[in-house]
Structure 1
Amino acid sequence: MANLLLMPAKSDDFVKKVAAFDALSPAARAHLKSLKGKKVIGVRAVHVGQGDFTAVRSEDGKAVFYFDVGGGCHAGSRSYPWHRTKTPARTLGACFEHSLSPYVFLSHWDHDHWFSAENLTAIAQSHFIAPRQMIAPSHLKTKQRIMPNVRLWPRDEKIVEIQLTTGHGLLIESCSGDEGGDPNHSGLALTLVRYKQRVVRSTGALSVAVHKDAASITHARYRELILLPGDAPYHYVRSLGNQALRDGGRYIGLLAYHHGSQSEWSSATAYAPTANANTHRAGYTYGIKPDNKGCYSSMPGSDAVQGMKDKGWTDRKNTSGAAPLLSALNDQRELDPPRTTPVQEGDIDIEFP
């Protein structure tokens, strides 16, 4: 593509070695191995306006690691909650719980998924694990603040399953899009897993399995799952290519891709996971400006929200409260009440039952 640069690898290890942890820096490998024994009970999508900023949390509420540290920028620069009230309840610093020195996984390199690192030194000084993608040269300058701490997840690792405890684990996967194309399609997706049966393992090495494709996932082991796709439409999330897993009703939570955007919804529909019938929550992480208008007219979009409902996702929570939902034809059809007064702001908690 014209006017684009490939994110530089820190060393040849990033693209040549096969094992996931061997392809990362020693520090990154050590941190991932330190997650062994951590019981991840769910996620908190922190309200930072138009963007994703999600803490993967332990039993005591601490952040084990983050999946994106974005926030309002560009058209959404005034969508932070502290821009919308004269008496903000907290600041960005209060949003970033970092007592465990958590690493940050970036789903992809769009600004609204890492921009809070520009505004808070504690985030910028964290260690980052990010996808190898094409980016515009104009973006490199703004990324210099975090670049010294970035390590790249190897594209060869399609789906990596990490068993943290006898009952909990993670799926970290490279989405299937071309790394030289739309960054939404080629980033990282994360799934939290709760296993059906507790498997007693030694206290030695972290249990890691690399799945070559969705069909090789032993889905019968999973009791419940929570999906964080970033901005990747569902048909780019490799694990959702396993129909038995996708439609098995095991998903109890997800964050809607691309903040509930209309974009590519028709293509993604068949690959949206079916919600658990007993307990589930879908989160929408979008922003509202001080004038109570949405940052982008298609986030969230009515067709996407209705499509999620058709897949069983009826329990919906938004970081920015109710919003007018525009149809794909932009005909101003609304599924939510119009915003005539300020809406309730809030984080979204999704936890295993």
Structure 2
Amino acid sequence: MFKNKFFASAAQEDGEPRRKGRVYAAIEIPELDEGLQPYEAEPVYLECVDTSWLNSFKVSENGPSWSKLFQMAPLSVLELTSYKLPIFPESSKPGDIAWFEFGYEPASSSESDARIYTNLLSEGTTVKISFHEARPLGWAERGGIGDVAQALAKYNSSSNSQYSLEKRLARVSTAGGVAFYDVGQGACQAAIDNDLHIPQLYVDFGGGVLTNKKTFPDGFAGFCFTCDPMVILSHWDWDHWSSAQRWPEALNTPWLTPPVPLKPIQLAFAAELHERGSLHIWDGAWPGTITAGAVTIERCTGRTANDSGLAVTLRRRRSSPKNCLLPGDADYACIPSVVAGESFNALCMTHHGGRLHSPTYPKAKRGAASVLSAGPRNSYRHPLFDTVVAHLEHGWSLPTGTALSGQRPCHVLVPWGGRPHILQGGCHAGRCATAVSAIAPANGKITKFARRSESAM
């Protein structure tokens, strides 16, 4: 279970308090297309921590008690529904974190200009902004937020565990293909073995949150941890790790992650992983790319969190030409293998089919398959028509989407050398939804693959 109530499960979540608040709020400076304003066509969310709490927070120099303290941080998300996003600090650039102080008070829907969420899975409550003040660039680095980030980097550098992590990755079986799970507006993929068709490695562990919580399928029974799969986190956006909030068992497996951004919610989630010894941060001691068995991980080269995370390529086996690119939300121009001209058999379209900032696209091999992970009727309007069309123009097939069927969850399985199939999980006597129990090829015929009894577990 999580220590911080911001990460409480939906069953534990007890509604939003109706009271005044004062918070420090963080938002990343985005990459912008020419002529667009920041967050012009998307919801505006800021990560918040209570001002009084942060002003009194001090990182202990005598031990790791900082993480236990940060597990108690009063966190929230502030959505600006009609309140105008303040101007970013002068000289800020994409990837910088801008900080503001906001005050708000309860308000009716008709009078409100914002919404506050005290849990990623809550409905939120309407508020009216009473004031905002900008903080200078570098403000957080000089205070408690910066101290926590430095401590996380110090105590969780994966350079100390690189050898053991590579050995673990080298043992991952990918022979059954790649599964793309229906988690609503989010992302979660897995390498699947060829014997029992269960997850051997998760790449991201996300799902729909906040306004997009409704996109997460109600019938999702749970995740499979039979083979003790580790998690590779592409980047720290909530919708790429939030299913750990729904199934906290995931906190006990190793997580290989990019560096943690200087934002309070990501730092608090990282503190939860740190407390369990599960956090392994890919830092400067690692090479830009590693290959361990059938798994290749690349550090992306961009400036923003989306574009500087980890991209993963899975292969049928180490020397196989059959490959699948899992880019997270990275612009393709920031993925070294794509820039180098590598071609792929399968692809999860980056950023849920959202807006990209460069004309670079991965090369598609003959018969290549593409998949989209996006929630139905999500607030970002993903996938964008122009993005899908651009993939088609670069040789990719029309994507198979998670949640394709009205009977959800509806996952997608791409077997090596085969066309995408939709699937539902259901082994372990119905306790999980991610191990393959049946798949449906394009002709609609159901083929049973694996349905294990309790005695086989």
TM-score after normalising by structure 1 = 0.69
Match of 2:198 in 1: 62
Match of 2:396 in 1: 313
Question: Matched residue of 2:351: which SS?
Answer: helix
Match of 2:380 in 1: 296
- Structure 1, unpaired ranges of 5+: 16-20, 83-87, 199-221, 323-341
The equivalent position to 1:187 in structure 2, one of 309, 315, 319, is 309
Aligned pairs (5 A) from 1:137-286: 137-148=264-275, 149-155=278-284, 156-162=286-292, 164=293, 169-178=294-303, 182-194=304-316, 223-243=321-341, 245=342, 250-264=343-357, 267=358, 269-270=359-360, 272-277=361-366, 279-286=367-374
Give the residue type in structure 2 aligned to 1:132: P
Q: Within 2, Cα distance between the matches of 1:125 and 1:13?
A: 17
Q: Within 2, Cα distance between the matches of 1:57 and 1:8?
A: 36
Give the drift of 1:254. Answer: 0.7
- Structure 2, unpaired ranges of 5+: 1-95, 100-139, 418-457
Question: Matched residue of 1:81: which SS?
Answer: coil
How many residues of Structure 1 are paired with residues of Structure 2 in the alignment? Answer: 270
Match of 1:75 in 2: 211
Q: Within 1, Cα distance between the matches of 2:317 and 2:199?
A: 21
Give the drift of 1:11. Answer: 6.3
Deviation per CA, 1:282-333: give whole Å up to 9, x if none: 1110112xxxx33312x101111011111211241001339xxxxxxxxxxx
Percent identical among aligned pairs is 27
CA contact (8 A) 1:49 1:81 kept: yes
Give the residue type in structure 2 aligned to 1:283: V
Aligned pairs (5 A) from 1:91-110: 91=221, 93=222, 96-110=223-237
CA contact (8 A) 2:260 2:267 kept: no
Deviation per CA, 1:1-29: give whole Å up to 9, x if none: 444556446565976xxxxx7x143xx64
Deviation per CA, 1:64-85: give whole Å up to 9, x if none: 2110000010221111111xxx
Match of 2:254 in 1: 127
Q: Say which is worse superposed, 309-318 or 229-238, in terms of deviation.
A: 309-318
Aligned CA distance change for structure 1 residues 38 and 139 (closer, same or farther; 3 Å): closer
CA contact (8 A) 1:133 1:183 kept: no
CA RMSD of aligned residues (A): 2.6
Aligned CA distance change for structure 1 residues 142 and 153 (closer, same or farther; 3 Å): closer
Aligned CA distance change for structure 1 residues 78 and 31 (closer, same or farther; 3 Å): same
Aligned CA distance change for structure 1 residues 11 and 234 (closer, same or farther; 3 Å): closer
Greater relative contact order: 1 or 2 (C-alpha under 8 angstroms, separation 6 or more)? 1
Aligned pairs (5 A) from 1:318-337: 318-321=401-404
Q: Within 2, Cα distance between the matches of 1:344 and 1:77?
A: 15
Give the residue type in structure 2 aligned to 1:348: V
Aligned CA distance change for structure 1 residues 141 and 275 (closer, same or farther; 3 Å): same
Give the residue type in structure 2 aligned to 1:284: L
CA contact (8 A) 1:133 1:187 kept: no
- Rg: which structure is higher? 2
Deviation per CA, 1:158-203: give whole Å up to 9, x if none: 11122x2xxxx2210100023xxx210110000113479x6xxxxx
CA contact (8 A) 2:181 2:402 kept: yes
Aligned CA distance change for structure 1 residues 239 and 97 (closer, same or farther; 3 Å): same
Question: Matched residue of 1:118: which SS?
Answer: helix
Question: Matched residue of 1:223: which SS?
Answer: coil
Match of 2:188 in 1: 53
Aligned CA distance change for structure 1 residues 35 and 176 (closer, same or farther; 3 Å): closer
CA contact (8 A) 2:236 2:266 kept: no
Q: Within 2, Cα distance between the matches of 1:78 and 1:238?
A: 35
Deviation per CA, 1:122-158: give whole Å up to 9, x if none: 1122221100142312443355433432110124421
CA contact (8 A) 1:53 1:113 kept: yes
Match of 1:346 in 2: 410
Deviation per CA, 1:47-90: give whole Å up to 9, x if none: 011100111122221222110000010221111111xxxxx3x4
Give the drift of 1:34. Answer: 3.3
Deviation per CA, 1:251-283: give whole Å up to 9, x if none: 11010000010242xx1x33x112222x22111
The equivalent position to 2:178 in structure 1, one of 9, 22, 43, is 43
Question: Matched residue of 1:172: which SS?
Answer: strand
Q: Within 2, Cα distance between the matches of 1:37 and 1:124?
A: 21
Q: Within 2, Cα distance between the matches of 1:348 and 1:255?
A: 11
CA contact (8 A) 1:227 1:254 kept: yes
